[in-house]
Every structure is written in C-alpha cells, then in structure tokens.
Amino acid sequence: MENLINVVDWSRAQFALTAIYHWLFVPLTLGLGIIVAIMESIYLHTKSERWLATTKFWMLLFGINFAIGVATGIILEFEFGTNWSNYSWFVGDIFGAPLAIEGILAFFMESTFIAVMFFGWGKVSPKFHLTATWLTAIGACISALWILAANAWMQCPVGMEFNPETMRNEMVSFSAIVTSPMAVYKFFHTVMSGWTLGGIFVVGVSCWMLLKRRNIEHCLRSIKVGAWIGTIGIVLTMATGDGSAVTVAEHQPMKLAAMEGLYDGNSGQDLVAIGVLNPEKKVGDNLDPYIFEISLPKGLSILANHDKDSFVPGINDIIAGRSFSTDGNPVNTISDSDRIERGRKAQSALRQFGEAKRQGDTLAMSQLRIDIKKHFNFLGYASLQSPSDAIPNIPLTFYSFRVMVGIGSFLLVFLLTTFFLAYKRPELEKSKWSKWFYRLAIISIPLTYICSVSGWVVAEVGRQPWIIQDLMSNSMAISDISAGYVQTTFCIFAVLFTALLIADISIMVKQIRKKSLENLNSTK
C-alpha cells in the first residue's frame, strides 16, 4: 500500500508539474494571438507602417512563447499513457476523441498557418496573410476547446455508457460532452483569462518601454489594444466564473465546501471574503473553522444557486447525506458511507460479471448488468477507506480561491483604469504619478500568472481524490510502474521545464530590450 501511495503521489506531482509549466505559456498564446490579429487588421485597414511595425514586434514575442508552449503540451498528453494507463483504458474511448480532434484539426491549423504568419510577409497577399494570422489565433482557441471539454468531462462525466464486457466506458453522445454547461463555462472562462493575460502583458511591456522613454508612440498604440482586450477578458472571465460556480455547486459540492472551508452549511449561507482557517478544525468537531473572517451576508447562496435563501451544504452535511430545501424542510441525500457501500457493490458485481462471462453464464450476466448499472455511478468510492478520504486539501483550495479572486478584483480595477487612461495621453504619459503606474503595470504581469495558476489549483485540487468525479479515484487510475521510475522522470522534467522557462523568459527579455532600442514606428 505504501508503494501505491508513493506512485500515486509522484504521478500526481509529475502531472501537476507538467500542467503548471504548460499553463505558463498557453494563456499568453491565446491572448497575444488575438491581439496580434487585431493589430494586423488595423494595419491592413490603415496601411500605416507604424501599425505594421507594432504588429511584427508583438508577433515576435507570440512566436517565442508559442514554440515552447507546444513542447510542454506534447509531453503532457504522453503522460496519460505512461503514468495513467488504467485511466486511459477505462475512458480512452471518450477522453481520446477530443484529444485526437485537437491533434488533427487544431494543431494542423496552428502549424500550417503560423508558418505563413511568420514567413509569408511579402510572399502572399496582405489579405491572405491576415487570414493566416487570424486562423492561427482561432486554432489556438480551438485547441483549448477540446482539452477543456475533456477536462470538464472528467469533473462532470456525461454522454457515455459503461460496457461491462469490455470494462470500458463508451461514448454515446459527443455533443453532450462538448456542450455540457461545465465544458462551456470552462472553455470561455479559460480563454477569457488568456485574453486578460495577453492584455496585461502588452500593457506591462509597453509601460516598461515608457519608463525607459523608448518608442512612446508605439507603446501608446499597443496599450490601447491591450486595454481593450484585457478589459473584455477580465469582465467575461468574472461572468463565466459565476456560471462555473453554479455548475460546481451542482456537480461538485465538496469542492465548493472546500473553497469556503465550510463544514456546516446553512440556508442563506455567507461568503467568506477574507479569512484565516483554524488549523485544528476537523470533520465532526465543534471548533470554529476560522480564526478570523470577514463575510458577505448570503453571498455563498447567491454564488452557488443564484438564490440568497438557498441551502449550501458543508463538508459535514455532504458526508452525512444532509440537505435542506429552500423552505427549510430536510432533504435526505446519499451519505458518503452509503456511496462507499454502493461502490463496493458495483465493484463486486463487476468481478462476478467477469467470472460469469468466462463461464458463459448469460443469465447471470444479464442480472449482473442490472446490478452494475444500479451502482455504477459510485464505483470510485469503492477505493476509499473512509468518508474522510473524499475530502480534498481544504487549506490549499481555500487560500488559492481567495488569491484568485483577490488578484482578479485588482486586475479589473487596473484594466478599467488603463482603458480610461489609454485615451487620455497626458494623464498616461506626463502625469507625476505615471512612473508608479508603469511599475504597477509591470508587476501586474506576474500577478496575472499567479491568479491564473491559482484558479487551476482550485479546479484540480478541489476535485480530489477524483480523476473522474465519483467514478475513478487517483489510486485506481495509475499505471503499473514503480515509484522510482516516476521520481526519476519527475526530476528530468523539472530540470527540462525549468530550463525551457528560463530560456523563454531570457529570449523574450532580450528581444524586448533589443527591439525597444529600434524605431518601432517603421519597418524600414
């Protein structure tokens, strides 16, 4: 068992490492792709050499980031086969479909048109080149769509049916997978956060140049576009985040409870705006869950259900199978103990089905199919030793959520301010406090990354121990490999990805410094 735990933990750590490094590049690709396409559209409309020079500058940074992002993404997909082969076997028919579409369609679009985008200047018509730039940006978004649809399916499995004869889940509705509310909200939330980062990045780099008094006209042009995209991005990110909260409340109530550090739910539940968790608090005790808190009255009920008087269950309620209707009447749900029992019944029925199949007992197989279907939705609980195993890391989820919301709120104010100032040149360029604004813009770049990564921590840590919600735990999904193998590859990837990150930042900084000394108002 100890070896299993080591394998699970190290496999999770390796995947988390790869995903985090990959996500350092992806959102900037999504945001810069759109920004570059808009700038080139302005150039084609105005025929201005200034806009052409500005377009090529940001296109260069886009290309550097794009190349390294692809490298980390390919490794991420291979890990499903190396470290999580049981998962790949169990749901490969479903999970593999969006990944295949991503490879065939999205990567093809990106790899084809990015070549025209970078090497087609003067070789193809301006309109065709602009089309290639837009298709590259759209291809990046389409690529994100399939990955995010697959991720959403893991957190809310739909559109499938389990076949006990093959021990695999089979797809019955591709549209249900792609168009599920969780998939739709996750896609737009993620892409819009990429737009936010792209806008912040353009504003921040431009403000660094303004701080150095270099290419002022180029910077002011860039800031206007960055402010537009960043502001649209942050507003829509918050709007889709609200929709995501509703789907989480419906399909992953334990994640929502962990996000709030909520042990005992209530009707008209308050939302903790700022708080410090009590480290001594345990499930089932009477200790206060917070050392300090500032709450918004009925905020969590509004966030979760869009109903200020609705009941939001806490961790103790979910474990005990307790809930209440809006009128205060008790509503019995399935307790985690019952879920574990039903999961084990499903597991036992699967074993018996396999034995009946080997013996050719079709009558027993028919009856066992009914038993399997009856309890299958709780199959993953069979791997849990106790109800407490279904609780994610509460402190990490709780604090990550507040980091995400806190920085996101700051970015909203900052981008609205930038948007306002972008059209008031004297205030942006000549005011006494402009240098402080420039420095704040530069700092906002890493803050946006922290915000984005914190969001993913909430999404992924909050759903633990499930790799597929309720159906498969991490311990059921791993490959039959040694912990030493995973430890070795973890160290290799850590060194490799860190080197790639350092290379990416170094190349970007070098190019920004080099180009800032050139005349970015002309391509001549």
Give the count of beta carbons closer than 10 Å to the beta carbon of residue 317: 22
Q: How far is CA 242 from CA 185, 247, 296, in A?
A: 9, 9, 16
Q: How far apart are CA 405 and CA 150, in angstroms?
A: 25
Q: Give the pLDDT of residue 2.
A: 44
Give the count of beta carbons closer than 10 Å to the beta carbon of residue 503: 12
Give the count of beta carbons closer than 10 Å to the beta carbon of residue 440: 17
Please check whether residues 359 and 322 belong to one and the same domain.
no
- Domain assignment present for residue 523? The answer is no
Whether 283 shows a pLDDT value over 60: the answer reads yes
Please check whether residues 142 and 165 belong to one and the same domain.
yes
Whether 49 shows a pLDDT value over 70: the answer reads yes
Q: How far apart are CA 117 and CA 134, in angstroms?
A: 9
Secondary structure letter of residue 473 according to DSSP:
E
Secondary structure letter of residue 264 according to DSSP:
S
Bridge partners of residue 267, in order along the sequence = 311
Tokens of 425: 């040149």
Q: DSSP alpha helices (H): ranges in 173-277?
A: 174-178, 181-211, 216-251, 253-260
Tracing tokens 């209530």 back to the chain, one arrives at 266
Q: What are the two backbone dihedrals, phi and then psi, of residue 292, each rounded to the nearest 5 degrees? A: -150, 140
- What would the pLDDT profile of 468-494 be if each residue is shown by its tens digit? 888 888 888 888 778 788 888 889 888
159 conformational bin, left if phi > 0, alpha if psi -120 to 50, beta if neither: left
Q: How far apart are CA 72 and CA 67, in angstroms?
A: 9
Q: How far apart are CA 415 and CA 192, in angstroms?
A: 14
**Residue span of the structural domain in which 234 resides:** 2-252+392-516
- Domain assignment present for residue 366? The answer is yes
Please check whether residues 174 and 281 belong to one and the same domain.
no
DSSP string, 336-377: HHHHHHHHHHHHHHHHHHHHHHHHT-HHHHHHHHHHHHHHGG
- Domain assignment present for residue 522? The answer is no
Bridge partners of residue 271, in order along the sequence = 296
Please check whether residues 35 and 113 belong to one and the same domain.
yes
Q: Which of 301, 317, 332 is the last residue of a domain?
A: 332
Three-class DSSP category at 119: helix
DSSP string, 27-94: HHHHHHHHHHHHHHHHHHHH--HHHHHHHHHHHHHHHHHHHHHHHHHHHHHHHHHHT-HHHHHHHHHH
Please check whether residues 102 and 168 belong to one and the same domain.
yes
Q: How far apart are CA 480 and CA 256, in angstroms?
A: 33
Secondary structure, 3-state, 420-432: HHHCCHHHHHCCC
Banded model confidence at residue 324, pLDDT cuts 50, 70, 90: confident
Banded model confidence at residue 205, pLDDT cuts 50, 70, 90: very high
Q: Which residues contact 505 (CB under 8 A, 6 or more apart)?
A: none
Please check whether residues 9 and 113 belong to one and the same domain.
yes
Structural domain count, the chain: 3
Lowest-confidence range among 78-82, 104-108, 111-115, 127-131? 104-108
Please check whether residues 160 and 237 belong to one and the same domain.
yes
If we measure between CA atoms, which residue out of 310, 314, 308, 336 comes closest to residue 324? 310
Q: How far apart are CA 386 and CA 379, in angstroms?
A: 14
Summarize the confidence of residues 140-148 as an average pLDDT.
Answer: 85
Secondary structure, 3-state, 288-327: CCEEEEEEECCHHHHHHHCCCCCEECCHHHHHHCEEECCC
Q: Give the pLDDT of residue 307.
A: 87
- Domain assignment present for residue 294? The answer is yes
- Domain assignment present for residue 440? The answer is yes
Please check whether residues 52 and 10 belong to one and the same domain.
yes
- Domain assignment present for residue 488? The answer is yes
Q: What are the two backbone dihedrals, phi and then psi, of residue 163, each rounded to the nearest 5 degrees? A: -110, 105
Q: Yes or no: say if 94 and 159 are a contact pair by the CB < 8 Å rule.
A: yes
- What would the pLDDT profile of 91-101 be if each residue is shown by its tens digit? 888 887 787 78
Q: Return the higher-pLDDT residue of 87 and 404.
A: 404
Give the pTM.
0.89
Please check whether residues 81 and 217 belong to one and the same domain.
yes
Mean pLDDT for the chain? 86
Q: Yes or no: say if 31 and 233 are a contact pair by the CB < 8 Å rule.
A: yes
- Domain assignment present for residue 524? The answer is no
Q: Yes or no: say if 73 and 30 are a contact pair by the CB < 8 Å rule.
A: no
Query: What single letter denotes the amino acid at residue 51?
Result: W
Q: How far apart are CA 413 and CA 416, in angstroms?
A: 5
Whether 1 shows a pLDDT value over 50: the answer reads no
DSSP string, 398-444: HHHHHHHHHHHHHHHHHHHHHHHHHT-HHHHHTSTTHHHHHHHHHHH
Please check whether residues 382 and 465 belong to one and the same domain.
no
Please check whether residues 321 and 433 belong to one and the same domain.
no
Please check whether residues 220 and 100 belong to one and the same domain.
yes
Whether 71 shows a pLDDT value over 80: the answer reads no
Q: What are the two backbone dihedrals, phi and then psi, of residue 296, each rounded to the nearest 5 degrees? A: -100, 120
Tracing tokens 């990354």 back to the chain, one arrives at 449
Most confident of 81-85, 150-154, 192-196: 192-196
Summarize the confidence of residues 188-203 as an average pLDDT.
Answer: 93
Beta strands at 466-468 and 330-332: parallel, antiparallel or unpaired: unpaired
Q: Give the pLDDT of residue 425.
A: 61
Element (H, E) at 332: strand 330-332
- Domain assignment present for residue 521? The answer is no
Q: Yes or no: say if 479 and 84 are a contact pair by the CB < 8 Å rule.
A: yes
